[in-house]
Structure 1
Amino acid sequence: MSPRSQGYLYVAITMCIWGGFTITSRLNAQWGISAWDITALRFALAFCILMPILLYKKDTAFLWKKQPFILAMIGGVAYCLTSYSAFHYVPAAHAAIFLNGCLPLCTAVAAFVLFKQPLDKHIWISLVIMLSAITAMSFLMYQETGVAFGFGDMLFFLSAIWWGVFTVLLRQWQLSAWHSMAGVAIWSAIVYVPIYLLFLPKNLTVPEPMHLLLQVVFHGIFVVIVATLTYVEAIKRLGAFKAGSIVTLAPFMAAILAVPLLGEPLSLAIICGLIGMAVGALQPWRWISHQDSLQRQLDQQKKQS
């Protein structure tokens, strides 16, 4: 299998998991699994899997650096609590709009604020498109329901900010995929699980045991571990732009699937928001002039020969 084919395979796996995250997180609300519970169980399971591996490999020195701890607090605990909580207030389509749709923008702004990285013209175009889409969506939502934005929408946008900062720090600190994934999972468990056990409300007796098991396995293994590794491998083979653009489609596809699967509403306002945020996030105009690194390498080899 060629590197490009491998890259698309990794992208497909990542898309399935990221799309599943949207659907299953919304199911948490329907099944009575609270954000406090799923966050604790997710990181507890990942800790039980990863910590023995790190001890066996004698690869724990990186955990004592400040970077994994900071990443865990931002991209682990904070992100999970706000994003999981948001699904209890609004439909899955809102996650595609206010979380995944806003991620590229929040990442670019975080890079500018933290490290003075300038915003290029593509970001400004995306900003105009996204703001226009949100304005139109809020106007239509206000006409339909009398409310332009909900509490869940604000939580999703806050989650996008957390993940944007997390992404920029991860890129700046250049941790490996394994160390970043393991560090986030382990430090999140070390910090959050004791607080959860001692102080936070628990709702573990309400959900069906099978529902709880499915959610813990999916979020603790596939979301935390598998998706992180496959996404990094996809970037290595396809480049960050192409891999990121394709994978970004997953939550939008999940939002559409949530309509028949979960009985979610799909109003004109939601459709407007989905289309606008998808265009702004994917930046399709860049595909016209974009040529991936693998193709450039092949062209250079042909010229040299």
Structure 2
Amino acid sequence: MMNTRTQGYIYVVITMCIWGGFTITSRLNVLWHISAWDIAALRFTLAFCILMPILIYKKDTAFLFKKQPFILAMIGGVIYCLTCYSAFLYVPAAHAAIFLNGCIPLCTALAGFLLFKQPFDQHTWLSLVIMLVAISGMSFLMYQETGVAFGFGDLLFFISAIWWGIFTVLLRQWKLSAWHSMAGVAIWSAVVYVPFYLVFLPKQLDQVTMPHLIMQTLFHGIFVVIIATLAYVEAIKRLGAFKTGSIVTLAPFIAAIIAVPLLNEPLSGAILCGLIGMGIGALQPWRWFMHQDSLQQGLDQQKQRQ
């Protein structure tokens, strides 16, 4: 039997592989001519077809009629996916690691402060300073190299980080289970978005080869929506919030490096500056020298009381 820590690391590896794969496959959509409208519809449709029968079989559909799953689906499902997938059409995968994954911790902290008056801790302030320096250095170098500091895709990634930050704070505040959160987002996203997509939005699925279409649908509909969510939550239970979050945040940065030879994407000095700076700010490596994160301490205190 594996101990709890080993199980936690296995769940972390699963999550990392899927999160890193999300960055690579989302960029592949550009090469394979799969639009943001199409991949979002395929993702939500497949997840709906898998999850809805399970909920009906378990007679566990009552939670869907509460406002919380619907709001989470609109923010962390429909709007987030459309802005994120669209961003990959304009900029390389490395930009996703910088402006999406790198900015998510800060956007989450900012959303917590604005929505629920949750104060910044000292680690957040230090991360903010590091990231601002990294972004400033990156923008200066990019302007020197290309004459443009930021692109439209970078803006879309940053907006996506804002949506995900709000989603994370609401999810934490409302204390929904991992299963209900994941199922609610997937099902309501499909119910709202897919009919709108079928009636109003442009489609270019006829330009996509069937193997590419099947691969992207299975990966984004099953692995990203279902497996990664559940694995991430199980890892947090076993390793704590900070350690899990720090490790899995590495995945998009690693994927950005892999995309250089795999997708023949450029890795300039400006991008390298952004990756290193945003990676340090997001990972907060200085906290690894602390004994435990606050969540883990709370769990240990609960065990002692029992």
Per the normalisation by structure 2, the TM-score is 0.96
Counterpart amino acid of 1:150?
G
Counterpart amino acid of 1:75?
G
Question: Which residue is equivalent to 1:191?
Answer: 192
After TM superposition, the structure 1 = structure 2 runs for residues 145-160 of structure 1, keeping only pairs within 5 Å, are 145-160=146-161
Task: State the alpha-carbon separation in 2 of the partners of residues 48 and 166 from structure 1.
Answer: 23
Task: State the alpha-carbon separation in 2 of the partners of residues 110 and 213 from structure 1.
Answer: 36
Aligned residues: 301
Question: Which residue is equivalent to 1:48?
Answer: 49
After TM superposition, the structure 1 = structure 2 runs for residues 247-286 of structure 1, keeping only pairs within 5 Å, are 247-286=248-287
CA offset at residue 291 of structure 1?
Answer: 2.5
Percentage identity across paired residues of the two chains: 79
Task: State the alpha-carbon separation in 2 of the partners of residues 263 and 133 from structure 1.
Answer: 24
CA offset at residue 160 of structure 1?
Answer: 0.2
CA offset at residue 297 of structure 1?
Answer: 4.8
Task: State the alpha-carbon separation in 1 of the partners of residues 100 and 246 from structure 2.
Answer: 15
CA offset at residue 208 of structure 1?
Answer: 1.0
Counterpart amino acid of 1:60?
T
Question: Which residue is equivalent to 2:85?
Answer: 84
After TM superposition, the structure 1 = structure 2 runs for residues 10-21 of structure 1, keeping only pairs within 5 Å, are 10-21=11-22
Question: Which residue is equivalent to 1:211?
Answer: 212
Task: State the alpha-carbon separation in 1 of the partners of residues 231 and 177 from structure 2.
Answer: 13
Task: State the alpha-carbon separation in 2 of the partners of residues 154 and 20 from structure 1.
Answer: 22
CA offset at residue 67 of structure 1?
Answer: 0.2
Task: State the alpha-carbon separation in 2 of the partners of residues 87 and 280 from structure 1.
Answer: 23
Question: Which residue is equivalent to 1:290?
Answer: 291
Task: State the alpha-carbon separation in 2 of the partners of residues 141 and 216 from structure 1.
Answer: 35
3-state SS, counterpart of residue 149 of structure 2: coil
Question: Which residue is equivalent to 1:226?
Answer: 227
CA offset at residue 290 of structure 1?
Answer: 3.2
Task: State the alpha-carbon separation in 2 of the partners of residues 286 and 228 from structure 1.
Answer: 24
Moved over 4 A (4+): none
1:124-174 Cα distance to aligned partner (Å, 9 max, x none): 110010010000000000111111000000000000000000000000000
Task: State the alpha-carbon separation in 2 of the partners of residues 281 and 151 from structure 1.
Answer: 22
Matched, 1:28 2:34: no
Per the normalisation by structure 1, the TM-score is 0.96
Question: Which residue is equivalent to 1:239?
Answer: 240
Task: State the alpha-carbon separation in 1 of the partners of residues 236 and 20 from structure 2.
Answer: 18
Task: State the alpha-carbon separation in 1 of the partners of residues 173 and 245 from structure 2.
Answer: 18
Task: State the alpha-carbon separation in 2 of the partners of residues 290 and 75 from structure 1.
Answer: 32
3-state SS, counterpart of residue 205 of structure 1: helix
Task: State the alpha-carbon separation in 2 of the partners of residues 75 and 235 from structure 1.
Answer: 20
CA offset at residue 282 of structure 1?
Answer: 0.4
Task: State the alpha-carbon separation in 2 of the partners of residues 74 and 127 from structure 1.
Answer: 24
Counterpart amino acid of 2:289?
I
Counterpart amino acid of 1:209?
M
- CA-based RMSD of the aligned residues comes to 1.6
Q: Which runs of 5+ in 1 are unaligned?
A: none
Counterpart amino acid of 1:263?
N
3-state SS, counterpart of residue 264 of structure 1: coil
Task: State the alpha-carbon separation in 2 of the partners of residues 151 and 182 from structure 1.
Answer: 32
Q: Which runs of 5+ in 2 are unaligned?
A: none
1:220-258 Cα distance to aligned partner (Å, 9 max, x none): 000000000000000000001100110000000000000
